Amino acid sequence: MSSDTPDCAQPEAERRGSDGDNTVEGAEDPEGQAAEKEAEGGSETNGTEPMSKRQRKRLLRHQQWEEQRDLRKQRRKERKQKRRLGRPLQAVDGVEWMQRKRLRREATPSSLRLVVDCSFDSLMPLKDVKKLHKQIQRCYAENRRALHPVQFYLTSHGGQLKQNMDENDKGWVNWKDINIRPEQFQQVISKEEVVYLTSDSPNVLTELDESKAYIIGGLVDHNHHKGITFQRAQELGIDHAQLPLGSFVKMNSRKVLAVNHVFEIILAYLEKRDWQQAFFTILPQRKGAVPLEQEGGADGQKEQEQDSDSDSDSTLGIEEETSTKEIQESKCRKFEDGPS
């Protein structure tokens, strides 16, 4: 009895100690699982439903992307520095790069002002505003590398356009050699110095006056608002004109051009001082543009071909008629002579 008593009377603390490993492990396991779920974003918080596996992966990728932001920035700097150092070592590319740099240094800025009027923002859906943003980007890039860069203005800058630029092109705030103003153009430039470019104007430009400011309507409307820029110029009582497109070019489509096309044509004219060369340097092939002289020559050629076709047809008729008469005469002679 005495030998069995200590076993039966074994302290509860010792029994706990002997089973401690299992007891502690069993107690901590739920906490570990909860922590793991919380780390994966799958725990229920404030009564919300747990995230799916796909959502957890997406969240994890986003966290990793944010954590590596500085590393990506550093890598971009290193790649840029490597390209910069490698340029002079390349023979052909190095010469081409030096030529581009030399041209940029020799660029002579023009005093002419080109203004994109962005006051039509409310007339466009967001997809057209995005197209206008891309056209403005193209204008800025072309002006930066032009031989005679103009004084570039954006006026009435705000609304959907500014919001889209803030979201998708945050670097616009660092653009150089451009004046971006929230005011309307008539509040920035004197009305006497303004010429509104519109294809509906009866006035045709023959020369560019570099003391003037030429306004381009910042509107992508797909022909939904015909004549609106001409109407705006008349309401404001300012000069208006159209590019001399009809004097040099015949197109399959309408004469309305995109903002960047008008901008680039003027840049090309300042360099070449020839409207026809400027038009055919910039106009896209889809416009089906041909010089007026070439079109006249083509029409003349078609008329000559038609005349030659009619002449050949009439000659063929005479020959056929002659051969028919000869056959009839030979038959008559045979009949008169009788059978041989």
Q: Pick from 192, 191, 233, 237: which is nearest to 216 by CA?
A: 233
CA 220, chain centre distance (Å)? 12
Residue of 200, 221, 239, 311 with catalytic role: 221
What is the identity of the amino acid at 334?
K
What tokens appear for 179 in the block?
A: 């004046």
What is the identity of the amino acid at 59?
L
Rounded distance between C-alpha atoms, residue 38 and residue 122, angstroms: 46
Q: Does residue 307 have an active-site annotation?
A: no
Q: Is 222 exposed, middle or buried (0-12, 13-18, 19+ CB in 10 A)?
A: exposed
Q: What share of the chain is helix, strand, coil (3-state, %, to 5)?
A: 60, 10, 30
Residues contacting residue 51 through CB under 8 Å, at least 6 positions apart:
40, 41, 42, 59
Residues annotated catalytic, as ranges? 221
